[in-house]
Amino acid sequence: MLNLDTSQVSLSREEMERFSRHLILPEVGLEGQKRLKAGKVLCIGTGGLGSPLLLYLAAAGVGRIGIVDFDVVDVSNLQRQVIHGTSWVGKPKVESAKNRILEINPCCQVDVYNTALKAHNALELFANYDVIVDGTDNFPTRYLVNDACVLTGKPNVYGSIFRFEGQATVFNYEDGPNYRDLYPEPPPPGLVPSCAEGGVLGILPGIIGLIQATETVKILLGIGTTLSGRLLLYDALKMSFRELKLRKNPATPPITQLIDYEQFCGIPQATEQASQAEIPEISVAELKARMDAGQDFVLVDVRNPNEWEIGRIPGAHLIPLPQIENGDGVEQVRKLLNGSELIVHCKSGVRSAKALKILQAAGIQGKNLRGGILAWAEAYDPSIPKY
């Protein structure tokens, strides 16, 4: 059980009324509510996971909440990031979240860190809190959160989501396993699509985020059985929950210091540039000029059919990346080309670069449209939604 000092904590009359439904629960009671008020929680990210869990941690009476995020609210966030409202679009997420938390519980102390979590600031930040909640969206930050939790001895309440599926557990709690025991290494960049690329059901992070909130409150209260040692899998389409055992792996090397997580996750700048250098690019302006001049070329769109429904560049042919990966699409491209020049695009240029690498290996040369359809929409066609 976490060592929380409640000797200096008292609840006002207003707080007694506010938290009365907790106070009458024997498992919480006055002492438990004081523990929540004494508790200090740091939430990394105020996105899909951070939004719902922060609302409930604030409402539950957690006394001090830190929030780390460098981003601003975008209109495409509002489908799931329920702590942010329409009037906050374009403003910092941490300020939006703080505003909403204080509206729910004015007694909460909110610390905002409008910055990215990095190896140089993580340990210092974590030291001030009792529980760390991971609501991040990328592998480098997840390994950083894990390692910094291990080094500072803080429990790491973990959740992650993809499309219709989610995972949740508690790492590094009471000598339990950590993220490296579950997955010793991250996948290479590009192998696992992000939410921006793969999409996500808006309600999904609500479910997973609130599982994280539940575990956080249980840890602060010291009640129940946490998810430590268990990986919870949730499938929204099947509406099924499954549990897998999670043990410490004796082969996992001990964590002794923070490292370069971008490099660990295979995203060094130099390699990135080198790999791009192998793929010739074309700008949207050059593409437009070629179209206007009536030049002969074939434009292939490798996005998924549902993205194609959202908007498309005139004259493009849809051949989704999975078809190119399984070989059928390569032959389709070959037939289409028939001697013409090839230009490939996707949403922002990552998947089309991947497609071109496969096509190159099959002897087909082409150019990647820099910035994808988003850059095209920005420059020439405002009717295409920026999704």
Residues in contact with another protein by the rule CB under 8 A = 45, 47-50, 77, 81, 134-139, 142, 159-165, 167, 182-187, 191-196, 198, 200, 205, 231, 233, 242-247, 249, 322, 325-326
Rounded to 5 degrees, φ, ψ at 282 are -140, 145
Kind and range of the H or E run holding 21: helix 20-23
Task: Name which of 205 and 372 has its Cβ closer to another protein.
Answer: 205
Quote the least distance from Cβ 308 to another protein, whole Å. Answer: 16
Catalytic pick among 43, 108, 265, 346: 346
Task: Name which of 53 and 344 has its Cβ closer to another protein.
Answer: 53
Task: Name which of 56 and 162 has its Cβ closer to another protein.
Answer: 162
Task: Report CA-CA distances (Å) from 376 to 279, 290, 296, 317.
Answer: 19, 14, 19, 16
Quote the least distance from Cβ 134 to another protein, whole Å. Answer: 7
Strands (E), 143-248: 156-162, 165-171, 230-235, 240-245
Quote the least distance from Cβ 339 to another protein, whole Å. Answer: 30
**Chain centre to alpha carbon of residue 63:** 26
Which residue, among 255, 240, 108, 89, has the nearest Cα to 171 in the 3D structure?
A: 255
Catalytic pick among 108, 149, 195, 265: 195
Quote the least distance from Cβ 302 to another protein, whole Å. Answer: 13
Instruction: Give the separation between CA 138 and CA 144, rounded to whole angstroms.
Output: 10
Token pair for residue 332?
């389709």
Task: Name which of 50 and 61 has its Cβ closer to another protein.
Answer: 50
Quote the least distance from Cβ 63 to another protein, whole Å. Answer: 25
Instruction: Give the separation between CA 216 and CA 201, rounded to whole angstroms.
Output: 24
Task: Name which of 290 and 357 has its Cβ closer to another protein.
Answer: 357
What are the beta bridge partners of residue 171?
A: 156
Instruction: Give the separation between CA 225 and CA 243, rounded to whole angstroms.
Output: 14
Quote the least distance from Cβ 219 to another protein, whole Å. Answer: 19
Q: Is 195 labeled as catalytic in the residue annotation? A: yes
Task: Report CA-CA distances (Å) from 370 to 16, 57, 305, 347.
Answer: 58, 42, 21, 10
Task: Name which of 6 and 138 has its Cβ closer to another protein.
Answer: 138
CB-facing half-sphere around the CA of 371: CA atoms within 13 A: 14
Residues annotated as catalytic (active site), given as ranges: 195, 346
